Amino acid sequence: MKAIESNGTIKIYDSYLYRESIREIEGRVYDPEDKSWIIPLTQKNAYTVGLLGAELDEKLKELAKQEDDNDVLAEPITKPLIKGNLYAHQVKAYNFAL
């Protein structure tokens, strides 16, 4: 899967295996002529596409990195039902899942 920035949007190519995940992204549109998904260009979308395993172009890599830096939260959104403390990567995954 490959993602590029194009005219203020993100175009995703060769994404058949990830089509169900891409359908969950708000504002997505499939272009049958270009055989690509088109999603809005935001930090969150660039980060999400990167998490799905897409090869990002340079502009999207920088945008996704900024989201990754801003996304680190010290506290979970809601209190987990476990005893003990979560590591930072676990808090991040927990907040992402919610």
Span 69-93, average pLDDT: 75
The per-residue pLDDT of the chain, averaged, comes to: 86
Cβ–Cβ < 8 Å for 26, 42: no
- Tell me the C-alpha distance between 1 and 17, whole Å: 9
On whether the pTM is more than 0.75, the answer is: no
- Tell me the C-alpha distance between 25 and 72, whole Å: 21
